[in-house]
Amino acid sequence: SIMRARLKDMALVDSQLLFDGTPNTTTSKHYGSRIEFDKDGYLYFSIGDRGARDVHPQSLEYDAGKIHRINADGTIPKSNPFVNQPNARKSIYSYGHRNPQGMAMHPETGAIWSHEHGPRGGDEINIIKAGANYGWPEVTHGINYIGTKITDETSREGMQQPDWVWVPSIAPSGMEFVTSSKYPQWQGHVLVGAMKFAHLVLVELDGNKVTGHSKLFEGAGRVRSIATHPNGDLYLGIDGMGIYRIVPDGKI
């Protein structure tokens, strides 16, 4: 679900339910659950496939395995790509996703970028396009955890190719474009948490193109989230450890 509320005297008041995903499920994996606004005030959020890869991601009748777009009041934008398609969930913006756990708006282009967990291998970075099918599970660069194939296809006509692929998987979580002048060595690039390897990843960009990546803070822990303070400081949320600030000399 997506809710909104006002903050008053350190308490949430006037809460409203904006979105309630269906169908409900008792599975305990692949929530997705990242949220981001764009420059036009649209609210994007991800829902993972909830462990039903052969049902949810490729069907527009289900909310899971998708990135959605709504207005800030919960209504559906009339320009959403499937708003006039019978039986489609009107909030869907893109589909064919496995488990997107990072989302951020490009500070210059305004495009929404996302990354998602592949299976064993095949973690992806994607620039999200309206109505695009990102392929899961019909195409993937990963395999099943037991080592068997999911598919022989890594691409198919009509399905969006990822803008970057990690093999082996890094288990990405959190995503932040570095805009602060406090970190000139990283400015203009993207930070992504690597839960599997317990470090931060610097994703290097040339405009809209990912050109490479490097490791930061090896052994720091399972980086779950990344955020920029209004004063330009970068903060990391690390599983089981707490919130850490990255000081300008590149330490936490």
Q: Beta 32-37 vs 11-19: how paired, if at all? A: unpaired
SS3 148: coil
The 10 Å Cβ neighbour count of residue 12 is: 11
Whether the ω angle into residue 137 lies within 30 degrees of 0, i.e. cis, is yes
Give the residue among 16, 25, 71 at the shortest CA–CA distance from 47: 25
What stretch of H or E contains 46?
strand 43-47
Beta bridge partners of 113: 104, 127
Reply yes or no on whether 213 is catalytic.
Answer: no
Long-range contacts: 71-75, Cβ < 8 Å, 24+?
A: 71/41, 71/42, 71/43, 72/4, 72/37, 72/41, 72/42, 72/43, 73/18, 74/2, 74/4, 74/16, 74/17, 74/18, 74/19
H helix count then E strand count, the chain: 0, 17
Give me the catalytic one of 30, 117, 141, 213.
Answer: 30
Residues designated catalytic: 30
